[in-house]
């Protein structure tokens, strides 16, 4: 049974750094082709792909956010960590992690999402 | 980056109708195009992957196909639970961009 769950602070001040953790079970990120992505959604707006980490430890990022994002494997082999620097109110929204078994397959399992508010 | 343009942005329909949502890619790509359904307060749900493959457990009234640079999601015999927002996403090349969404309303 595949599950993913995001965790992290609900409130962050402007200019601070956000760290979110995606804890997953039921699959291995080391399996050939596997990938975990981060996606966010501002209130009332569309989904925005942030980045992903692949089974071979390759990372890819949104073009507009690449200077602020880092995706890494966590201390546990079943965790992926998203770090976003220099937060702004425009970064308020729900952040999801999702897994995909390969480029052909889409993201078939998602976490429930964690809402982050950027406010002083 | 590959840009995905969805149309229409919103759509009104009735139970039993057939609707089509289009996603146009800004450049040639393989058929690594996925469709998701999202309801308010919920995570997206994968409906279709690789343009036309139905995800396990998704009703057969959902289908997808490709016509050149256009990818089309068709929903036949609309059911009350189908009223939601639909997104396309390409997984052909990073960044794996999403379309802007289509809100399907009664």
Tens of pLDDT, residue by residue over B63-87, are 999 999 999 999 999 999 999 999 9
Distance CA A38, CA A97 (A): 5
Q: In 3-state terms, what secondary structure has residue B46?
A: strand
The pLDDT-based confidence of B28 (bands split at 50, 70, 90) is confident
Region of A51 (left: φ > 0; alpha: ψ -120 to 50; beta: rest) is left
Please report which residue ranges of chain A form alpha helices under DSSP H. none
- Chain A residues inside the 8 Å CB shell of B88: none
pLDDT at residue A55 greater than cutoff 90: yes
Nearest residue in B to A38, CA atom: B96
**Whole-number Å distance between alpha carbons of B100 and B3:** 10
CA distance A112 to chain B (A): 6
């Amino acid at each position: 049974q595949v599950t993913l769950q995001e965790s992290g602070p609900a409130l962050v001040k402007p200019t601070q750094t956000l760290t979110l953790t995606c804890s997953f079970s039921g699959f291995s990120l080391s399996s050939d082709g596997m990938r975990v992505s981060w996606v966010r959604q501002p209130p009332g707006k569309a989904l925005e792909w942030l980045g992903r980490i692949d089974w071979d430890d390759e990372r890819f990022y949104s073009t507009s956010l690449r200077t602020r994002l880092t995706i890494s494997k966590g201390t546990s082999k079943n965790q992926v960590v998203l770090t976003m620097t220099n937060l702004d109110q425009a970064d308020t929204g729900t952040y999801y992690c999702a897994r995909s078994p390969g480029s052909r397959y889409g993201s078939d399992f998602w976490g429930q999402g964690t809402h982050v508010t950027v406010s002083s | 980056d590959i840009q995905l343009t969805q149309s229409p942005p919103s759509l009104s329909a009735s139970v039993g109708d057939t609707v089509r949502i289009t996603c146009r890619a800004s450049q040639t790509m393989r058929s690594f195009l996925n469709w998701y359904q999202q309801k308010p307060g919920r995570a997206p749900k994968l409906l279709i992957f690789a343009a036309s493959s139905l995800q396990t457990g998704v009703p057969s009234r959902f289908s997808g196909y490709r016509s050149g640079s256009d990818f089309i999601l068709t929903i036949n015999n609309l059911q009350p639970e189908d009223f939601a927002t639909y997104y396309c996403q390409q997984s052909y090349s990073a960044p794996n961009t999403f379309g802007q969404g289509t809100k399907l309303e009664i």
